[in-house]
Amino acid sequence: MKTRYFLPAIGLIAALCFTACEKKDPFKDNKSEGYLTLKLDGQELTVTKQLTGSLHDTAANAMLVVSGMTSDNQLVTVNILFPDKQLKPGTYNLDLNGFNSLGWMKTLGSSESYAADDLTIGASSSIKIESVSETAAKGTFSGVLIHDVDETKKKTITEGKFDVTVLKMY
């Protein structure tokens, strides 16, 4: 093949390859659809950024993490452990191992962060799963969160609810 035909043919093939490939946006493609809302000490919060429902498959269990950030960058997370990988509706309360926990942080990296992950210091959480599968989860939650440093400071979550599509993580 003569060079004058070969170079345009390579250019045409390269152009087709680059335009045919769909570029993936890691923030758009790894984002759940749905909602996560709650009241924190009576203040209504709605996750509007980076909403994610992710299902983590471990050796013995499955862990669902629903999290995201509000418009003013408050971080919220709901974590549910499904023993023996049995994804089923039910009520999941905070246990002595710190499973079935809730968390809130004023802003990412802030020293003002609270969690319901330790029963021995007065934290509590109740997460009711209405429906769950490898592709979607819906539920409600409430609890008492304890400051990460000062155990005398508490925040109360009421009217928490979520309905999200789920990304399976391996």
- Per-residue pLDDT in tens (0 to 9) along the chain, 170 residues: 433 333 343 333 433 333 344 444 444 555 689 999 999 999 999 999 999 999 998 888 999 999 999 999 999 999 999 999 999 999 999 999 999 999 999 987 778 999 999 999 999 999 999 999 999 999 999 999 999 999 999 999 999 999 999 998 86
Kindly tell me the burial class for residue 161, based on how many C-beta atoms sit within 10 Å of its own C-beta (0-12, 13-18, 19 or more).
middle
pTM: 0.81
Identify the CA nearest to 95 among candidates 66, 115, 124: 124
* Residue 4 placed within a domain: no
* Residue 21 placed within a domain: no
3-state secondary structure 42-65: CEEEEEEEEEEEEEEECCCEEEEE
Q: For the beta carbon of residue 155, count every other beta carbon within 10 angstroms.
A: 18
CB-based contacts of 42, cutoff 8 Å, min separation 6: 158
* Residue 37 placed within a domain: yes
Please give the span between the terminal C-alpha atoms of the chain, in angstroms, as a whole number.
49
Domain range holding 56?
27-169
* Residue 10 placed within a domain: no
- How many structural domains does the chain have? 1
* Residue 17 placed within a domain: no
Residue 9 CA, chain-centre distance (Å), reads 47
* Residue 115 placed within a domain: yes
* Residue 1 placed within a domain: no
* Residue 5 placed within a domain: no
Query: What single letter denotes the amino acid at residue 65?
Result: V
